[in-house]
Amino acid sequence: MADASKKSARKIIHDRRLRGKVALVAGATRGAGRGIAVALGEAGATVYCTGRSTRAGRLKAGQPETIEETAELVTAAGGLGIAVKVDHTVPAEVKKMCGQIKRRHKALDILVNDIWGGDAITEWGKTFWTVNIENGLGLLKQAIHSHIITAHYAVPLMLGRRRGIIFEITDGDAFYYRGNLFYDLVKISVIRLAFAMARELRKREIVSVALTPGFLRSERVLDHFKVSEANWREAGKKNKNSADQNDAADFMMSESPRFVGRAVVALATDPKAKKKNGRVFSSWRLAREYKFTDLNGTRPDWGRYATKKYGKFKVCDERFYSYWVPGLVELIFPDWF
């Protein structure tokens, strides 16, 4: 056991690919945001961990995670975690936080837009004319407006840096319908946001991409299956498969939040990342390319599994993007940006 601990320590010491880099993970309290923040810490980055749940006041009862805890996990992994309470739907709060980053670290290298928090107000199985309209509109504000506001104030801190990268965290790497009109608008919109920002930043040293995890083994999902990260495979023995596609068999193909975090690190450290500008990628596809693994040393491939079980579906590929560029406006006004 002592030898294993030494090997683990050596790994942390040697992984300094992002040492000296400053990252902002907007929405780092739990789930993918926390996994990404800790993975950036593994690579030695300074990570601002923002969200609304703090030890002084948690946003929702029954959700114990806080931004302070995330920041401590970042530091324990080898980076420097800094917790800042921010409501990303409020421009003044985001502006203030970006001012803090500028004063303390002068600039920003990595922006991760992972603000979500819409699980409680997404009404699955309801048509758009029967859902609670206030919840739906609130979801757009919470998970699209917040991303735009954050990028608006954070990207100026990235200008002039040798290399910067923006990540828009979404669900799915395809253009298919996602089961609820408002949820669909959110997840497609942030993919489009990554593309639009990439077009305006294309002459600068900043890359903008969208990124999706697979079946995410988040805190909420672990609670649903009544397991922890330490014993999550027990869910396959405890739970019988159901008609619901998110059953125990699917859960066995899940990935920890750290997996998508390592996808972020892989792209953030790739000097040729600009070739991927404006597109959407999956954790499993990037794992194949960059050879990183999950916490347990495996390389889960949700896309391959889902295709085999449920059938083939089209993802955003070269042909898909060929319809996006060049656009008519760029042909008419090639020097706008």
pLDDT at 325 over 70: yes
Q: Are 48 and 88 in contact (CB under 8 A)?
A: no
State residue 113's pLDDT score.
98
Q: Is the pTM of this model over 0.85?
A: yes
SS3 58: coil
Query: What is the mean predicted confidence (pLDDT) over 268-292?
Result: 97
pLDDT tens per residue, range 219-237 = 999 998 899 999 999 887 7
pLDDT at 240 over 70: no
Nearest of 177, 173, 162, 163 to residue 195 by alpha carbon: 173
Sheet order of strands, 80-85 included = 80-85, 46-51, 22-26, 110-113, 164-169, 206-212, 280-282
Q: How confident is the model at residue 31 (pLDDT cuts 50, 70, 90)?
A: very high
Q: H or E segment at 258? A: helix 257-268
Question: 51-55, 62-66, 130-134, 206-210: which range is least confident on average?
Answer: 62-66
State residue 61's pLDDT score.
65
Q: How confident is the model at residue 254 (pLDDT cuts 50, 70, 90)?
A: very high
pLDDT at 283 over 90: yes
Nearest of 142, 145, 143, 120 to residue 132 by alpha carbon: 120
Average pLDDT, the chain: 91
